[in-house]
Amino acid sequence: MLPEAALDFPLCGKPLTCRELSGGKINLSLLLTTDRGARYVLQRVNRAVFPDIGPVMRNAARLQGWLERHGQPLPASIRYLPAQSGALWVEDEEGFAWRCYPHVEGVCRTRPESGEEICEAGLAFGRFLQAFADFPIQELEETIPRFHDTPDRFRLLREAVKADPLGRLSDAKDALDTALRFEEAASVLQGKRERGELPLRVTHNDTKFSNILFDAATGRARCVLDLDTVMPGLSACDFGDAARSCACVEAEDGSASLSLEHFTRLAAGFFSGCPALTEPEREALPLGALTVTVELGVRYLTDYLLGDPCFRTADPAQNLRRARRRLALAGDMLRKAEPMAELVRNTANKFT
């Protein structure tokens, strides 16, 4: 069924078909096709994650303006259509927030299919950082306060454990014990941020492989998608989430491990795309991989205990399985910390 919110945007033609796009864990995305052949993405924003959509959309507008003023290519994903009211989003009678942007042809996948795609992913995310290297960081708002504050994520986990509103803790004690063993190591990066040891940048903060749109013909990255979590942050977190997504090898039994070969390819692309990285930033990249992987495991586990309000699921245990897989990957990263650091140093030397 076509949401009434679609009629609030200046579409080229009348909506003809509407179908859900798969892959999103947070927002509901619909593909609209009009009687003139135009295609748009209509999104319903998850208010449990983004109770205030204002900062999200204002950040997108500021980034768009920055790129336009500096003559840089404009990622199609941030060309949000203004509604009839002039705002970049509308709210329906139930309080849901909707936004719309032109559909961009390309291919999105959850996993890379070649080493070249991994390198291209690193390049795309590195270029995103580089494009906003001189952006006045004070002009960006936090869309999710304390998003990569890992100690705070553990605080929220403990609150969920104490509440255990659905009685799910008994099935998740193994994951909880594993997560708590990582708490000290995964909190180091936040300490570096608080002490000012690493520069704040315009960061994407959700650099999973599926957030890259590839050109189907050339295999090159067209743009980085999903700018909802763009805000001041650390380059290590962007690289770390990309490593968690692109350099991870998942087994049929649900376990996960880090491929050092994939990790090296990702780092090569990242350094090529973002030459502005400082030496302390480069040194922090392996720590970023461990930190974000643990953090995501903690977030999935917290969401599972609270009844899955943030991450969309296909069954009641999916977020618990997600948590276990990320925590298993974090364990493998911790075991490979030294070779990861050496690979980053050797790769960085080729680009400095």
Q: Are 205 and 331 in contact (CB under 8 A)?
A: no
Exposed e or buried b per residue across 148-183, where buried means at least 16 C-beta atoms within 10 angstroms of its C-beta: bbbeebbebbeebbeeeeeebbeebeebbebbeebe
User: For the chain, how many structural domains are there in total?
Assistant: 2
Angle (deg, nearest 10), helices 260-273 and 115-131: 30
pLDDT digits (tens, 9 = 90+) for 303-335: 999 999 988 899 999 999 999 999 999 999 999
Looking at the structure, do residues 332 and 297 belong to the same domain, yes or no?
Answer: yes
Looking at the structure, do residues 220 and 277 belong to the same domain, yes or no?
Answer: yes
> Which range has the worst mean pLDDT, 10-19, 151-160, 257-266?
10-19
pLDDT digits (tens, 9 = 90+) for 128-155: 999 999 999 999 999 989 999 999 999 9
3-state secondary structure of 276: coil
Tokens of 36: 């003139």
pLDDT for residue 76 is more than 50: no
| Alpha helices (runs of H) in the chain, residue ranges in sequence order | 54-69, 115-131, 150-163, 169-181, 183-186, 188-194, 235-246, 260-273, 279-305, 318-335, 337-349
Looking at the structure, do residues 84 and 150 belong to the same domain, yes or no?
Answer: no
3-state secondary structure of 33: strand
User: How far apart are alpha carbons 165 and 147 in whole angstroms?
Assistant: 23
pLDDT for residue 77 is more than 70: no
pLDDT digits (tens, 9 = 90+) for 154-205: 999 999 999 999 999 999 999 999 999 999 999 999 999 999 999 999 999 9
User: How far apart are alpha carbons 18 and 40 in whole angstroms?
Assistant: 10
Q: What is the CATH number of the domain that holds 342?
A: 3.90.1200.10
Look at residue 22 in the predicted model and tell me its pLDDT. Answer: 67
Domain membership flag for residue 110: no
Look at residue 24 in the predicted model and tell me its pLDDT. Answer: 60
Looking at the structure, do residues 27 and 57 belong to the same domain, yes or no?
Answer: yes
Look at residue 343 in the predicted model and tell me its pLDDT. Answer: 96
Domain membership flag for residue 186: yes
Domain membership flag for residue 147: yes
Angle (deg, nearest 10), helices 260-273 and 337-349: 40
The single residue listed with the structure tokens 């999903």 is 226
Looking at the structure, do residues 84 and 196 belong to the same domain, yes or no?
Answer: no
Greatest alpha-carbon span in the chain: 58
Looking at the structure, do residues 228 and 324 belong to the same domain, yes or no?
Answer: yes
User: How far apart are alpha carbons 61 and 102 in whole angstroms?
Assistant: 15
User: How far apart are alpha carbons 218 and 226 in whole angstroms?
Assistant: 22
pLDDT for residue 252 is more than 90: no
Report the percent of the chain where pLDDT is more than 70: 96
Look at residue 94 in the predicted model and tell me its pLDDT. Answer: 80
Length of the chain: 352
pLDDT digits (tens, 9 = 90+) for 88-107: 899 888 888 899 988 888 88
- Looking at per-residue pLDDT, the higher value among 262 and 23 belongs to 262
pLDDT for residue 352 is more than 80: no
57: domain range?
4-102
Beta strand 97-102 pairing with 212-214: unpaired
Q: Last residue of a domain, which of 45, 75, 102? A: 102
Domain membership flag for residue 123: yes
User: How far apart are alpha carbons 117 and 246 in whole angstroms?
Assistant: 9
pLDDT for residue 31 is more than 80: yes
